[in-house]
Structure 1
Amino acid sequence: MSGASGFVLGIDMGTSGARAVAMTAAGEVVASGSAKLAAFSDDHRDPVGWWKAVRAALAETLAEIEVAHARAICIDGTSGTMLPVAADGAPLATPLMYNDPVPDSAIIERIAAHAPEESAAHGATSGLGKLLTFQPLPGVFRVIHQADWLAGHFTGLYDVSDENNALKTGYDPVARKWPDWLARTGARADLLPDVLPAGSPIATVSPAAAEAFGLPSEVLVVAGTTDGCASFLATGADRPGDAVSALGTTLTVKMLSDKPLFAPQYGLYSHRIGDMWLAGGASNTGGAVLAAHFETGRIAALSESIDPATDTGLDFYPLLKPGERFPVADPAFLPRMEPRPAEDAEFLKAIFEGIAGVERLAYERLVSLGSPALRSIRTVGGGAKNATWTAIRKRKLAVPFLPVLSEEAAAGAARLALSGAREAGLL
């Protein structure tokens, strides 16, 4: 590979392991590596295991390329995973993971009493709640996020975060600061990291990191992001109105907006990315409903006999049980899956149409809350592979369906590294 423009590195620390990619200035992934967390630790809360997995994934990637041409590194981590550290980065307690509830419910009640309604710091798995849980420990230097801690291994700095990871810890992305109300919850300001925009330069790699990986001393480490934001960026969506639908067990929709959207009744808040905002919501419909009625092979076989250009005329809202989050916020919202057609293919088609209808309503909801008009959709998740469902969705949503550049969160982190490298004049 030519070193004329160099390459950047993106690292994703996910729930089961780490993945790294090398990306050229043109956005092409030219090398990758991965490592399972289980190969290094039997405890997914073990930070030493995290680092060993990252180190292994990065080493595998670097073995495929000319390391001298590396320009920048960016790391994403699971949103809301936090740990208290000493000044040298040493963990002072077992981390609380993204889905770990705060042990003391009184802390969550205290946050609820003082946090604005639209803050992402609410809830049992609150990042702010984790800060309040850890801050009484002796010797705490900072309470930081998983991505912050891993980035610290490359810079030697354990007091820097990014605007995306800091959101659930109470950071105000509109004012771009830690808000004054945090003090009323009892949070210690001196334990909060400094916050930079995602993709902004932090520092060059430390001498120890440069030596460990054979990296040039001028390689830049840039502020990271959450795994969810990185996964969105990996697709190539990069303009207001660009959206990504994830057709997994549930349906999630995300869209880039030119203004922040906050709607607590839908669990909707916005991440700041550059001069844009990433907003989205999660429905309870999705692949789980399909799986409750048909096996995977049966779905594929039935799909072959469905004409996606015609409509069943049925108005399904497919749910497994009562209750919806988005685009309808109603814990008692009832599924609509009647009348059931006699033919299985027609029933499957009605479910496909129903989920596509919820998807359309979800984007209409975002627009009603202030987002730009939907201009394109990229699709990820298992449902993206079903051509019949895709054709039905295209008919229902009536916007261009664009190809996904990557579904790897590490590629999204690499795109932020590209941004930071360009800002610093390295590419």
Structure 2
Amino acid sequence: MTPLAIGIDLGTSGARAVAMTQAFDIAAQGASALSDHGADARDPAVWWRAVETALEQVLMAVEPYSVRAIAVDGTSGTLLPVDADGTPLARPLMYSDKVEDEGLLARIAPVIARDSGAHGATSGLAKALVFQGVPGVAKVLHQADWIAGRLSGRFDTTDENNALKTGYDPVAARWPEWIAATGLRPELLPRVVAPGTPVGTIAPTMAQRFGLARNVAIVAGTTDGCASFIATGASEPGDGVTVLGSTLTLKLLCDQPVFAPEFGIYSHRINGLWLAGGASNTGGRVLAQYFTGAEIARLSDEIGHEDETGLDYYPLLGPGERFPVMDPALQPRLEPRPASDAAFLKGMLEGIAAIEKRGYDRLADLGAPALRSVRSVGGGAGNVAWTAIRQRRLGVPFLPAHSEQAAAGAARLALKGLEHSREPA
């Protein structure tokens, strides 16, 4: 049997799973919406039922005994308190939830290291401090930790990427001493390992439940954002991934960490390298303010992309930008508007491409390597005219993304766990 690894992605609306060969080919995939399993998307029982269904779909399409490893990714910053047996003790606080205790936030803000990802009301650290008051709490876990714990029976481990927003120091590779000064009891924090590290084997009950071998490795996963990057196949310093979604997000693989809290830039450690990135307020939602998807497709076919319009646009929906410049008062620039809708669209696409170029340059100014290649994902990646405009601006090879599925990135980490398990002691 061809050995397989399974990656599980638990996102905001559902769970996905893929089985992957050692050549990174996807052998099977499954998906299940949270809404199919209950009305409350915050209920961990709903998360688990969605994961079960997605995993079952994959295992129906492959030989279950060929599966050697499983890894899980989840939404960054989603936490829940559990008892010693892993039973949830309170409703989770999701990635976008804010801690409303202003006194708590004001008390811990001066203690947190400047470059830490734990700043802010949505941080994992703030949520952990809320949860430590729950009676009977033994550990505060991230979403991916809990799902992996259901598979392994261990509820005591997390990965470096999920731990970042809870205060973990990825450079020193430890929970920092200042954590105790916030008032958080250190024993509530899970141990931290690198993504792709085997953390145990599947629990006997789960092996029987899914028809898997009893020696399947459960491997440390990552956040959904990091998993999506890994899935593209980018693997060398200078490899960039541009997400052309409702907003413009840039991610760049680096040989050293880059931290710039003023731009919302932190670094995740991945496969011995560092992943840094930034997010602009420009993107597809600005285009959607003026044109429908069908109109964008039609007008894009009319664009001659060999020349420039000369329009100096900075497309935003309203005032304020966070990256590649931090300026809460920055005004949108979308004038003058040409008589031709095609020219207007082209000017906006050029403006977003210019912001993309400036963003990668900003990362380089902060210590990241120069951009050497780009993989494009998201809804705008298939726009041929926009791609030509971006290629001219960036001047680097555009490479195909191996996959856009976060579950595929988790599967790559599961494969890495298999490599670890074969290393000599």
TM-score grouping bracket, smaller chain normalisation: over 0.9
Match of 1:299?
296
Residue matched to 1:67 = 64
Partner of 2:130: 133
- 1:219 matched to which residue of 2? 216
Counterpart Cα distance in 1 of 2:408 and 2:192: 22
Question: Is the aligned partner of 1:367 residue 2:364?
Answer: yes
> Which residue in 1 is equivalent to 2:169?
172
- Pairwise mapping of residues 205-244 of structure 1 onto structure 2 (< 5 A)? 205-244=202-241
Residue in structure 1 matched with residue 6 of structure 2 by the alignment: 9
Letter in 2 for 1:48: A
Q: One-letter code of the match for 1:299?
A: I
State how far apart, in whole Å, the 1-side matches of 2:347 and 2:353 are.
Answer: 10
Q: How many residues align?
A: 423
1:114 counterpart residue number: 111
Match of 1:330 in 2: 327
Which whole-Å deviations, capped at 9, do the CAs of 1:293-345 have from their partners, x for residues lacking one?
A: 11111111111111111101121111111110000011011222122112111
Q: Does residue 88 of the first structure (1) align with residue 85 of the second (2)? A: yes
Corresponding position of 2:345 = 348
CA distance in 2, matches of 1:303, 1:281: 27
Distance 1:147 1:241 in 2: 28
Question: Can you list the C-alpha shifts for 1:94-129, whole angstroms capped at 9, x where unaligned?
Answer: 000001111312222222110012111011111000
Q: Distance in 1 between matches of 2:89 and 2:366?
A: 42
- Counterpart of 1:48 in structure 2 is 45
Q: Which aligned runs of 4 or more in structure 1 are off by greater than 3 angstroms?
A: none
Q: TM-score, normalised by structure 2?
A: 0.98
User: 2:195 aligns to what?
Assistant: 198
Q: Distance in 1 between matches of 2:270 and 2:385?
A: 34
TM superposition shift of 1:370: 0.6
Whether the 8 Å CA contact 1:111–1:121 is kept in 2: the answer is no
Alignment-mate amino acid for residue 323 of structure 1: G
Secondary structure of the residue aligned to 1:424 is helix
| Structure 2 residue aligned with 1:276 | 273
CA distance in 1, matches of 2:317, 2:32: 35
Residue 275 of structure 2 aligns to a residue whose secondary structure is strand
In the alignment, what sits opposite 1:395? 392
Residue among 55, 58, 62 paired with 1:58: 55
d(CA) in 1 for partners of 2:72, 2:126? 24
Cα distance in structure 2, aligned partners of 1:377 and 1:279 = 14
> Which range is displaced more, 70-79 or 336-345?
336-345
Q: TM-score, normalised by structure 1?
A: 0.98
Amino acid at match of 2:44: P
SS in 2 for 1:38: helix
Matches of 2:102 and 2:208 in 1, distance apart?
A: 45
- Mapped partners of 2:404, 2:45: distance in 1: 27
Indicate the RMSD between aligned Cα atoms, in angstroms: 0.9
**Could you tell me how far apart the structure 1 residues matched to 2:175 and 2:385 are?**
47
Q: In structure 1, how many angstroms separate the alpha carbons of the residues matched to 2:102 and 2:93?
A: 15
Q: Which residue of 2 aligns with 1:411?
A: 408
Q: Separation in 1 of the partners of 2:313 and 2:248?
A: 15
Question: Separation in 2 of the partners of 1:374 and 1:82?
Answer: 34
